[in-house]
Amino acid sequence: MRTRPTLTWTPTGAPAPRTTSLDEVVDVVAAGRVVALSGAGLSTESGIPDYRGAAGRLRNHTPMTYQEFTESPTGRRRYWARSHLGWRTIVGAAPNSGHRAVTELSTRGFVSAVITQNVDGLHQAAGTPAVVDLHGTLDRVICLACRQISDRAELDRRLRAANPSFDGSAGRLNPDGDVELDEESVRAFRLVNCTNCGSRMLKPDVVFFGENVPRPKVEQCYRLVEESAALLVLGSSLTVMSGLRFVRRAAEAGKPVLIINHGPTRGDDHASVRVDLPLGAALTDLAARLPRSPATPSRPAVVTPLFNAG
Ligand SMILES: [Zn+2]
């Protein structure tokens, strides 16, 4: 039988009730060796909306699939035209109080590593020491023909130069850096070639829908979870398996799974506590209520940078 080592959890078979109290989270995190798993909900306070919006409704946004991107020149043009506009918001976004609190929990020795499903780079911008970008990051670009990795800022300069009068009126931004854009603007957008091999197959180093997280990266995350004492889920509805599997692994090992998220999650059955609070305020409060450091502080885990499409 699976056991969950928290003081208040009783094995009823039902999901832990949702609460607005951080008491149980404070108790577990105070012992240290916590791995955090973050999702889009952590970045909404930085102005990057999540897929579900405040009401929890799935927005009418179909993310680019790997198949469409690689097989359709029109699909690639549409992606880059829209992403070219969305990128301005992503680079302009700043970490919020939630990201800063995660950095503080890491440097004070409570959180050993952060696995993030976000591709916005805001954990790194906030100075968090050990971050695994589960789905890659938008600030790197890979050429699918020659595998050269390059900087998104450099591509951005070249796309601006190739499209000097491009001023498509962008609609809503999506968390993958995509925006709504009219078809006329898409058709007028000019792509640029790889600087190494001349191919047009440039792709952001992020995992598209229909693509798998590379195995070495998954194994690295499993190791982090195995070495941890608890898993803290921050702002993710856990709808995709790429994140949910770590929740399952932690629960199977009898480790407490603490979820702070606005709305229900697919991991609720595995949770020892589910807290429904805004992330920025909740994490700031959590950091304030913890002792200076855990009895045995953990050093930031060693995280090997791994490219997603590389
Ligand atoms: Zn190339």
d(CA 128, CA 93): 16
Give the pLDDT of residue 301.
87
pLDDT in tens, 150-204: 999 999 999 999 998 876 555 666 666 666 677 788 888 999 999 999 999 999 9
- Answer yes or no: is pLDDT of 308 > 80: no
> How many angstroms separate the alpha carbon of residue 202 from the centre of ligand 1?
7
| 133 class by beta-carbon count within 10 Å (0-12 exposed, 13-18 middle, 19+ buried) | buried
Count helices and strands (H / E) in the chain.
10, 10
Kindly state the DSSP code that residue 173 receives in the 8-state scheme: B
Which residues in the chain are classed under CATH 3.30.1600? 66-93+138-206
d(CA 185, CA 85): 11
| 262 is a catalytic site residue | no
Domain 66-93+138-206 is of which CATH architecture?
2-Layer Sandwich (3.30)
Max Cα-Cα span within the chain: 64
Kindly state the DSSP code that residue 310 receives in the 8-state scheme: -
Q: What is the DSSP string of 243-300?
A: HHHHHHHHHHTT--EEEE-SS--TTGGG-SEEE-S-HHHHHHHHHHHS-SS-SSPPPP
pLDDT in tens, 113-149: 999 999 999 999 999 999 999 999 999 999 999 999 9
**Given the residues 99, 123, 135, 262, the one annotated as active site:** 135
Cα–Cα distances (Å) from 11 to 6, 25, 70, 123, 270, in that order, read 11, 18, 47, 35, 11
Instruction: Summarize the confidence of residues 66-78 as an average pLDDT.
Output: 92
18-48+96-136+213-289 CATH: 3.40.50.1220
Closest to 142 measured CA to CA, from 218, 201, 209, 191: 201
> How many angstroms separate the alpha carbon of residue 136 from the centre of ligand 1?
19
- Answer yes or no: is pLDDT of 22 > 60: yes
> How many angstroms separate the alpha carbon of residue 172 from the centre of ligand 1?
31
d(CA 259, CA 254): 15
Could you tell me which residues come within 8 angstroms of residue 218 by beta carbon, excluding any fewer than 6 positions away? 242, 245
- Answer yes or no: is pLDDT of 310 > 60: no
Q: Which of 22-26, 45-49, 262-266, 301-305 holds the top average pLDDT? A: 22-26
- Answer yes or no: is pLDDT of 7 > 50: no
Tokens of 197: 């091999």
Give the pLDDT of residue 51.
60
Q: What is the DSSP string of 174-209?
A: -TTS-B---HHHHHHPPP---TTT--S-EEEEEPPB
d(CA 180, CA 171): 5
Which residues in the chain are classed under CATH 3.40.50.1220? 18-48+96-136+213-289
Instruction: Summarize the confidence of residues 59-86 as an average pLDDT.
Output: 85
User: Residues whose CB is under 5 A from ligand 1 (ion)?
Assistant: 143, 145-146, 148, 194, 196-197, 199
